Structure formats: structure tokens, C-alpha cells
Structure 1
Amino acid sequence: MSGHSKWSQIKHKKGVADQKKGQVFSKLSKLISIAARKGIHPDKNIELKNAIEKARSLNMPKESIERSLKRVAEKDSARLEELLVEAIGPESVNIIITAVTDNKNRTIGAIKNILSKYEAKMAQSGSVMWAFEKNGLFEELAGNEDVQEVYTNIGD
């Protein structure tokens, strides 16, 4: 009766859950690090304040948040940068890709690979951005409000 012990079942489920949680925390840590480069004080840096609030809402440990801020304060840390790539997809669909990376060349190579797989290509800077207007970011939180009502009242 191998594989039927309760601990082996728990261990498997816990391992998967911990891996997913670790991936989310890693992304949040990068987000905090990027925002902190514009100022390490949350009361003066709204991006950092929002990143920390998002991390807290997803139950990221306080020690991890502080470690991300400390990493930015140290000059020896890897330089994370925000990358904006413009692309033209199949049937001339305009695509804007944003990424956070410590190695710009590796990320651009990976993006080119994905784009070629879907018959898309990178475009020159500015050739796609003209078609977009940055108004804000909308996150849909399940169960909080009537989503249809929120989206219809945005323009008011």
C-alpha cells in the first residue's frame, strides 16, 4: 500500500502550494525593489506604498518586504530594470509587453522567441505606443463590488 500514507499526500499538496506562493512572493519582491529605486520611504513614494500594500494583502511576510527594501539600499544588489517592448502580432495587432528583469538581453531574447512562435515580431520604439493611452490599472477583485457598475462609472 505504498503512496497511501496521509503525510505523503499532505507533503505533495503542500509542496505545490508553497511553490506557487514562492513565485508570487518573488514577483512581489521584484515589484517592491523596482518601486523602491525611486525612493525608499513609502510615505513619499506612492508606487512603493502601493507595492507594499499589495504584498501585505497577499500575506507576504513582513521580513520579506523589509529584505526587499534592504536589497535596494545596498549597492551590491543586482540591478532590476523595467523593460517595455512593442510588438506587432498576427493580423497587425499592436502589443505592448512590460517586463521586470535583471538581464535585459536574456529577456529580449526570450520575448523574441515567444513572439516568433506566434508569428509576431518586435517593432521599433514608438511604432505601437501611439495607439495606446495609459489611463490606469484595473484589478478585478472577486466579490467586492459589482464589476459591471465599476467599469461603467469609470468615465464619469
Structure 2
Amino acid sequence: MSGHSKWSNIRRKKEASDAAKGAVFTKFAKEIAVAVKAGGPDPNSNSRLKVVVAKAKAANMPNDNINRAIKKAAEAGEGDDYEEITYEGYGPAGVAIMVKALTNNRNRTAADVRHIFDKNGGNLGVDGSVSFLFNEKGTILISKEDYEDEDQVMGDALDCGASDFESDDEFYIISTTTTDYYDVRDALEAKNYVIADSTLGPVATTTAEVTDPDAIAQLEKMLDMMDENEDIQEVFHNWNG
């Protein structure tokens, strides 16, 4: 995985393998189904669905596919079949990894996740084995190329309810509580900000440096395999790769 600091997990999506790209639409269809189940089929009144649809469009998922997934979920209760599960474990060189999955077959997904860890020099752990190294929060990224006035962006973000603000070479990094995530994202969009990416999930409190080439290759392969698995929605880790 290339990238900088704790946001390498987000940027890695931009460099997904062909096999991973093939699984993307299936993953979004699942997320759409769960979002529709939770809040209804109208993105204007369902912030979770609105965010999923925006991400699907950014990934070039055709509008017909998106609308079909929404309609199918609304008519058939498609989201009822899916269970949200988080797996925890360690990858090569002791990198902490948290895997968020949506599945209609818990045994299949658990076996797949365990296989990916085992095959790449990692270990699938029990609940709590690595989660203490992460904080649950919302994260919203805004490109610095699009907005040069950092003070203005910071002020707007805090006015919208953000809990923290920082920046790196490429992005303004806006943090929220888990409960405020959708409201803050909606408020920023209402101010005409373009969201480069966003996620709701664990953020590492410390990062792990990996210098061994073999361990790096194993980590790359492990994360590629996770991207390619249709049950795995998102992967979070503390590798400063």
C-alpha cells in the first residue's frame, strides 16, 4: 500500500487492483441495501444512503445500477440478509488491522478472513485484540488543491460541528464523532464543499513503521486480497505505509 500516514487506507482505494475493482459494485450494492433498510430509499432524507450513493458515483458505478440496487432493496427487503461484522487481527510486522464486512453467511466470511490473515503471515484475533489501538470516529477529507484558505475551511468545519481539524500535504482532515458524522458531512456539502473521501470507522491512534521488504510485500498482498473479497467492505490499519 502506498500513501501517507493514517490515511493510506483511504488513498489505497484509488490504486485498487483490477480484481478489487470488479468487486466494488457488489460492495456498494450491499451498502445501499443496508442503508435503505436503515433509513428508507430516498437519499434526500437518508444521509447514510446519500453518502453511499455519492461514493458509488465517485467509483463510476452507473446510475442504472445504483437505482436498481435502491429499488431492489426497497421492494424486497434486500438489506435484511446482511450482517455487519468487524474482525480484528495482526498482519505481518505486527500491523494492527480491523476488517469491516457485510455478509449473509457469517461462517463463509469468517473462513475467508481467517484464510487471508493466515496466508499472508498474519493472525486473526478475538474481539478487542486490536480495537484498543483505534478510536471510532468519522473522517472527512477535503482536497487542499480545491480550497487554499485553510483558516476558512477550518472555521467552516468547526461551524458545521466537526470535533477536530488537521491537514497533511494533500488533504484537510476533518474529524467528527460517530453520531455527528452524517450531519457534518451534509452541512459541509450545503456550504458547497466537495468531499474528496470520507469514512465512518476506526482511526489508529498510533502508526506502525514497516521497513522489511518481505513484510511490506506480504502486507500489500494481504490488503489486495481483502479488497478483492466481496464481503469485506472496508479495511482499517495502523501501517504508515
- Please indicate the TM-score interval, normalised by the length of the shorter structure: 0.5 to 0.7
Percent identity, please.
34
**Greater strand fraction, Structure 1 or Structure 2:** 2
Alpha-carbon distance change, 85 to 74 in structure 1, aligned in 2, over 3 angstroms: same
User: In 2, distance between residues paired with 1:81 and 1:145?
Assistant: 38
User: In 1, distance between residues paired with 2:137 and 2:77?
Assistant: 35
Alpha-carbon distance change, 118 to 56 in structure 1, aligned in 2, over 3 angstroms: closer
Alpha-carbon distance change, 82 to 145 in structure 1, aligned in 2, over 3 angstroms: farther
Alpha-carbon distance change, 22 to 144 in structure 1, aligned in 2, over 3 angstroms: farther
Alpha-carbon distance change, 121 to 22 in structure 1, aligned in 2, over 3 angstroms: closer
1:28 equivalent in structure 2: 28
Larger radius of gyration: 1
2:235 equivalent in structure 1: none
What amino acid sits opposite 1:105 in the alignment? Answer: N
Q: TM-score normalized by structure 2? A: 0.47
1:61 equivalent in structure 2: 62
Aligned CA RMSD, in angstroms, stands at: 3.2
1:150 equivalent in structure 2: 171
1:11 equivalent in structure 2: none
Does structure 1 residue 38 correspond to structure 2 residue 5?
no
User: In 2, distance between residues paired with 1:121 and 1:21?
Assistant: 26
User: In 1, distance between residues paired with 2:31 and 2:132?
Assistant: 26
Partner SS, residue 24 of structure 1: helix
User: In 2, distance between residues paired with 1:123 and 1:71?
Assistant: 36
User: In 2, distance between residues paired with 1:134 and 1:145?
Assistant: 27
Q: TM-score normalized by structure 1? A: 0.67
User: In 2, distance between residues paired with 1:129 and 1:109?
Assistant: 20
Count of residues in correspondence between the two structures: 136
Alpha-carbon distance change, 149 to 66 in structure 1, aligned in 2, over 3 angstroms: closer
Deviations 1:104-141 (A, max 9, x none): 21111011111111232222212221110123345687
